[in-house]
Structure 1
Amino acid sequence: MPEQTVTAFPKDLLDARRELHEVHAELHAFLEDKPWSVGPSEGWDDVETGRWSPSVRPATDGWAEEDIRAREALQERIWKLSEFVITHTFWGTLSGPDRVDARTELIQASMPAPAETESTG
């Protein structure tokens, strides 16, 4: 269960931050079964090259257009929620370390409970 908050956050700010957690989780789940490259790629295997950080990527046809649009919609929602949270007028009521502490507290207060996290993946 999320920690009890000391700061009295406005409901719209707390709701937006909770939704931001949810949309991030939704994007993460969405990306799990997608190819590594959005566009078509021949892939590569440079393990035998002796590079300091070799990597292997299989060939892929890339993503379907509907998947690209779905990812863009999720990212757009994340950007809008982030903007709302970051620029909320509440932050103007705090300064210095109090603002930093409150931002950290908001993140903790808005996180889903562990049971919710386990059910989403």
Structure 2
Amino acid sequence: MTLIMQWLAQHKADTEVVGGITDEAFRERSLPEWDQAFFQDLEYRSLAELIIAANYLDMTNLLFYTAKAIAGKMAGMSTEQMRAYAGIQWEGPIPDVEEGEEEEEEINSNPVLEDLAVEKEKEEGN
């Protein structure tokens, strides 16, 4: 929550709502200097939590800025490096799924998202 409050304090005067991936101008420009510094030292877990919170709170600009920061951190990484950065455990090739058949088992497990789901279940239970 502290990170969200810091980000909001910096962007309180913002009136523009960015359009994300469909906004060509947003995709082409860099994050503002302050935002680059803000996101620079955050670990993946904090960034993932910011994305989830921004989505839940319908904070479009924070959502897209955070996604852009993650994309910037992953730029130039190999698939294996991206998985390691995001804490995704890879268990081999993706099996073929026949048309119409749904995959029942998760191929990848992401401990960050699993932890967040457990925390959310606890909060909803209280």
Q: TM-score, normalised by structure 2?
A: 0.27
- Name the larger-Rg structure: 1
Q: TM-score, normalised by structure 1?
A: 0.28
